[in-house]
């Protein structure tokens, strides 16, 4: 069964460093998402991406964040200068056109 | 704009039933239900797209009351594997698929 994959599973970085989180959405899906979940809290929407551009973003998704689909399979989230409060689990999700979103296993980002 | 889930937590014995509610103060386009186990990704359970729609999956079903802007998740004859945190994700327009999640309901099923 097709699934969303994410790498790395855990990333440790120092404050101020840039990180890139990678995702491979389900191959025929058209919408891609990033969500984050701070430990013990709810899942929060960051950004949606469709037709090679951002279709919607949240207030969390400020200038420090960017997304890219560099080729036909990968979907990346870049954080330019990480802060302690960026520590969270980051989930990538994808959906076909409408309907259910399928989540990847997540990348745990730890900023020290 | 965040949906409100109730209860926050529930403890059951195997075989008992539970209902989890998700309420919105704003008109909903759809409601998505997910279950998340500790340290894992949310797993999609079901989506409700129309007011009054009911969907079922094994012993888990859900309803969507459009007038009340509320969805309920019904777990019947609970099993140990049902333990986890249940989130409702609400979609307010049908455009981008942006989901706003409730704060979650922790369900613990004991033998």
The per-residue pLDDT for range B57-68, each reduced to its tens digit, is 678 999 998 888
Report which of A82, A28, A92, A36 is spatially closest to residue A59, judged by C-alpha positions: A36
Residues of B with CB below 8 A from A55's CB? 95-96
Q: How confident is the model at residue A19 (pLDDT cuts 50, 70, 90)?
A: very high
* Residue written as token pair 């529930």: B10
Q: Would you say residue B1 has pLDDT above 80?
A: no
User: Could you report the per-residue pLDDT of A72-93, keeping only the tens digit for each?
Assistant: 789 999 999 999 999 999 999 9
Question: What is the percentage of chain A residues whose pLDDT exceeds 90?
Answer: 90
- At B68 the pLDDT is 83
- At A25 the pLDDT is 96
A81 C-beta neighbours (distance < 10 Å), count: 12
Q: Would you say residue B16 has pLDDT above 80?
A: yes
Instruction: Encode burial over A36-57: b for 16+ CB neighbours within 10 A, e otherwise.
Output: bbeeeebbbbbbbbbeeeebbb
- Interchain pair B32, A103: CB under 8 A: no
- d(CA B97, nearest CA chain A) in Å: 7
Torsion A45-A50-A56-A61 (CA) sign = positive
From the list B32, B98, B101, the residue facing A100 with the nearest CB is B32
- At B93 the pLDDT is 82
Residue of A nearest to B87 (CA): A42
- At B51 the pLDDT is 61
Task: Note every long-range contact of A75-79, with CB atoms under 8 Å and residues 24 or more positions apart, other chains counting.
Answer: A75/A22, A75/A23, A75/A24, A75/A25, A75/A32, A75/A49, A76/A20, A76/A21, A76/A22, A76/A23, A77/A20, A77/A21, A77/A23, A77/A34, A77/A46, A77/A47, A78/A18, A78/A19, A78/A20, A78/A21, A79/A18, A79/A19, A79/A21, A79/A109
pLDDT mean over B80-104: 92
Question: What is the percentage of chain B residues whose pLDDT exceeds 90?
Answer: 68
pLDDT mean over A38-56: 94
User: Could you report the per-residue pLDDT of A52-65, keeping only the tens digit for each?
Assistant: 999 999 999 999 99
Q: How confident is the model at residue B54 (pLDDT cuts 50, 70, 90)?
A: low
- d(CA B5, nearest CA chain A) in Å: 11
* Separation CA B58–CA A83 (nearest Å): 44
The DSSP bridge partners found for residue A54 are A49
- Interchain pair A43, B43: CB under 8 A: no
pLDDT mean over B21-48: 92
- At A30 the pLDDT is 94
* Separation CA B107–CA B69 (nearest Å): 23
DSSP code per residue over B27-62: --SEEEEEEE-TTS--EEEEEE-STT-EEEETTEEE
Residues of A with CB below 8 A from B98's CB? 33, 45, 48, 56, 58
- At B58 the pLDDT is 73
């Amino acid at each position: 069964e097709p699934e969303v994959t994410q790498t790395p599973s855990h990333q440790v970085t120092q404050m101020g460093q840039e990180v890139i989180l990678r995702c491979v959405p389900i191959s025929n899906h058209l919408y891609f998402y990033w969500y984050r979940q701070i430990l013990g809290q709810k899942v929060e929407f960051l950004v949606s991406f469709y037709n090679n551009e951002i279709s919607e973003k949240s207030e969390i998704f400020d200038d420090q964040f960017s997304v890219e689909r560099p080729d036909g399979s990968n979907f990346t989230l870049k954080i330019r200068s990480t802060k302690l409060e960026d520590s969270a689990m980051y989930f990538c999700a994808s959906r076909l056109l409408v309907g259910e979103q399928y989540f990847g296993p997540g990348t745990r980002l730890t900023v020290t | 704009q965040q949906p409100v889930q109730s209860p926050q937590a529930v403890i059951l014995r195997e075989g008992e039933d539970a209902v989890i509610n998700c309420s919105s103060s704003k008109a909903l386009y759809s409601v998505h239900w997910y279950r998340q186990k500790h340290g894992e990704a949310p797993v999609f359970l079901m989506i409700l797209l129309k007011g009054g729609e009911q969907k079922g999956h094994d012993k888990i079903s859900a309803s969507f009351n459009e007038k009340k802007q509320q969805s309920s998740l019904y777990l019947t004859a609970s099993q140990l594997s049902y333990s986890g945190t249940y989130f409702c994700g609400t979609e307010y327009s049908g455009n981008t698929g942006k989901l706003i999640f409730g704060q979650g309901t922790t369900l613990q099923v004991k033998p």
